[in-house]
Amino acid sequence: MSTLTLPEPVDTHARRLLDTLPSSPGGAELWRALGAENLLSRVYRDHDPRHGIDPAALGALLSELDRRCSLGSTLAVTVPLATCLPLMASSTGLASSVLEAALGGRCVVALAATDESAGCDLASLGTEITFDDDGLYLHGTKRWITNATTCDAALVLARHRPGPHFTNFTWVLVPTDAPGVSAEPADTQLFEGSGTGHLTFDRVRVGHDHVVGGKGRGMSAFAAHIATERLAGALWAVALCERTLRDTARHLRERRRGDGTLWQHEGIRQRYASALLRARQHRALTENLTQAVAARRDSAAAATLKASAALTVEEVLDVCAHLEGAHGFRTGGPQALRAQAALFGIGGGTTEVVLSIMADAAPETLAEPGS
């Protein structure tokens, strides 16, 4: 009789792998290690990015990364996993070979959408593509891009026509060793391990086969895939808040106050519990809306998760950092984490932008049963 061997769960596999890595691996190093162990492909249904995300597997991986790696390194894995790879999966040719290399951890890809103009208003971006018979030129600068200083290729959103119409934008896959590409690190002490920086494309020449998803399909493809990034952020926020709450409870139970500990002070317990309540609400909302985003890429559900993640992370980390007193300011402590976690309300669409999407969808969200 043959013995059926079940695959090791993602979190167990990731934990075992992380035990073999240096204590604080950079994002690119982490990506290579996860790819070499086939852990990246496991976050997709049937291990194939064309079939969409497997939320349980993605949540399990993000939870392990959050527990063991810097926020910056987890960010460096999350952005390509949730956005770049699914975007490339809709294309054939060059993109599919880069996708295969990326899944195996042999290629790090950055998502370069935000450029020098206001990131919230993507339709005003200035990076330009000029097509001719033999290929295209790419010219412009992308700022605050995760993996900018560590990537092998960048998936760049650029315009091939002036004006804000959604058909004026196209994705181009650019190897970072192409002539005219340069990267500089962002001027910040935060986001260690994320490789965040600015990418400049000075009349970079590539062939037509570098276009991803078709000319003019840039904005519609992005709109379809940003929902997955928002779900990933919500799953990560669940892990981040619960981990921070556990750490703070441990600190409060050990911190002496009079004959007892801070944990015994009723005012502190109540403040802690209100942050716990917020984290539980975010977990419940995430569980409730995950299928709508994963299966249908429901944009209102994704916006709701993004807004919830941002506001919950802000409140929970604020309370936890405060409750640790001066100890909260230690290197790598909750005050530094809180400053970086403010990114949940900025990256991939600020809280205001996703609240506007929620407001637009309110009539359908609140439609009376049977109407």
Task: Give the residue nearest to ligand FAD (CB).
Answer: 119
Nearest Cα to Cα of residue 74 among 193, 229, 213? 193
Q: Please state, in angstroms and rounded to a whole number, the distance separating the CA atoms of residues 316 and 277.
A: 9
Specify whether the CB–CB gap between 282 and 312 falls below 8 A.
yes
Q: In sequence order, what E strands does 136-275 have?
A: 136-145, 153-159, 169-175, 181-185, 197-206, 211-212, 256-257, 260-261
Query: Nearest distance from residue 299's CB to ligand FAD, in Å?
Result: 16
Based on the shown chain and the rule CB under 6 A, indicate whether residue 78 belongs to the binding site for ligand FAD. Answer: no
- Min. distance of Cβ 243 from ligand FAD in angstroms? 20
Residue type, 193: G
Retrieve residue 202's tokens: 């000075």
Q: How far, in whole angstroms, is CA 181 from its chain's centroid?
A: 24
Which of the ranges 22-30, 33-41, 111-119, 208-216 carries the binding residues for ligand FAD, by CB under 6 A?
A: 111-119
Instruction: For the CB of residue 282, give the shortest distance to ligand FAD in the complex, in Å.
Output: 21
The answer to the question of residue 196 lying near ligand FAD (CB under 6 A) is: yes
Nearest to 217 by CA among 127, 46, 91: 91
The contact pattern for ligand FAD, residues 51-70, with x = CB under 6 A and - = no contact, is --------------------
CA distance 52 to 93: 20
Name the one range near ligand FAD by CB under 6 A: 118-126, 173-181, 209-217, 317-325.
118-126
Residues touching ligand FAD, count (CB under 6 A): 20
Residues 241-280 interacting with ligand FAD (rule: CB under 6 A): none
231 vs 245, beta carbon nearer ligand FAD: 231
Contacts of 234 (CB under 8 A, 6+ apart): 282, 285, 286, 289, 290, 305, 306, 308, 309
Under rule CB under 6 A, residue 111 binds ligand FAD: yes
Q: Select the span of 105-113, 233-241, 258-266, 274-282 touching ligand FAD (CB under 6 A).
A: 105-113
Among 44, 191, 272, 344, binds ligand FAD (CB under 6 A): 191
DSSP string, 44-84: BGGG-GGG-B-HHHHHHHHHHHHHHS-HHHHHHHHHIIIII
Of 190 and 249, nearer to ligand FAD (C-beta) is: 190
Residues that bind ligand FAD (CB under 6 A): 79, 111-114, 118-120, 144-146, 191, 196, 343, 346-348, 350, 352-353
